[in-house]
Amino acid sequence: GAVVSQHPSRVICKSGTSVKIECRSLDFQATTMFWYRQFPKQSLMLMATSNEGSKATYEQGVEKDKFLINHASLTLSTLTVTSAHPEDSSFYICSARQGAEAFFGQGTRLTVV
Amino acid sequence: DAKTTQPNSMESNEEEPVHLPCNHSTISGTDYIHWYRQLPSQGPEYVIHGLTSNVNNRMASLAIAEDRKSSTLILHRATLRDAAVYYCILSLTQGGSEKLVFGKGTKLTVNP
């Protein structure tokens, strides 16, 4: 089946720095990808829809200047957490759809210290 | 947004069938019903989806009520590897893209 790969799987960064997370569709093209965030013992929260070649669409309450999304090719979307703070520590997950089925990356656990 | 309601948790014994319910009373005629599951520290995994008719695949069966206001995911023989959080989701099309908005899900515990 289709595979979506995320990198890195874990990252620890200092408060105030920026972190980039990559999401790749390995064997299919994805004009749209989705970014989610998940806090411990909570459900996934949709942050934004990443559109190839155009601006991302952010969900209400998600700061677009803090969570920069770039979807420069049909197989790669990146999420950059800018000026990270400890409250940004979370599990970030991307997904891409192929037909009716969504494929999810393995997630990136971000810890801001 | 179309919303779903699921029990917070359920428990099953290994090798027994499991019926995971989901209520979606505000479903619209074009909403598909999707089920995903998530193991700890992993991304969600597709289980099954349907529109009106019952569906079967190698992982599970999906029984959809005639009025589509509820559905049930059926795992025919639970294994320890089926222990996960199961999410029932209605696909939502906005701005031309169909996105999946997750609810709280049902945490399934499988006892050996």
Q: Looking at the complex, report in whole angstroms how far the Cα of residue B12 sits from the nearest Cα belonging to chain A.
A: 21
Contact present, A77 and A29 (Cβ < 8 Å): no
Cβ–Cβ of B41/A91 closer than 8 Å?
Answer: yes
- Within an 8 Å CB–CB cutoff, is residue A35 touching chain B? no
| Span A64-107, pLDDT tens digits | 999 999 998 999 999 999 999 999 999 999 999 888 889 999 99
- Within an 8 Å CB–CB cutoff, is residue A95 touching chain B? yes
pLDDT above 70 for A109: yes
Under-70 pLDDT residues of chain B: 1-2, 93-97
| Span A30-76, pLDDT tens digits | 999 999 999 999 999 999 999 998 899 999 999 999 999 999 899 99
Q: How far apart are CA B48 and CA B57, in angstroms?
A: 7
Q: Looking at the complex, report in whole angstroms how far the Cα of residue A84 sits from the nearest Cα belonging to chain B.
A: 21
What pLDDT does residue B30 have?
85
Compute the CA torsion angle B88, B94, B96, B100 (nearest 10 deg): -20
CB pairs under 8 A between A and B: 53
What pLDDT does residue B95 have?
57
What pLDDT does residue B1 have?
56
Q: How far apart are CA B107 and CA B79, in angstroms?
A: 14
Q: How far apart are CA A102 and CA A89, in angstroms?
A: 25
Q: Which helix (H) or strand (E) holds A36?
A: strand A32-38
The partner residue sitting opposite B97, judged by closest CB among A32, A36, A91, is A32
∠ Cα B49 B79 A95 (to 5°): 40
Q: How far apart are CA B61 and CA A113, in angstroms?
A: 44
The partner residue sitting opposite B102, judged by closest CB among A44, A57, A105, is A44
For residue A1, name the pLDDT band (cuts at 50, 70, 90): low
Cβ–Cβ of B101/A46 closer than 8 Å?
Answer: yes
pLDDT above 70 for A6: yes
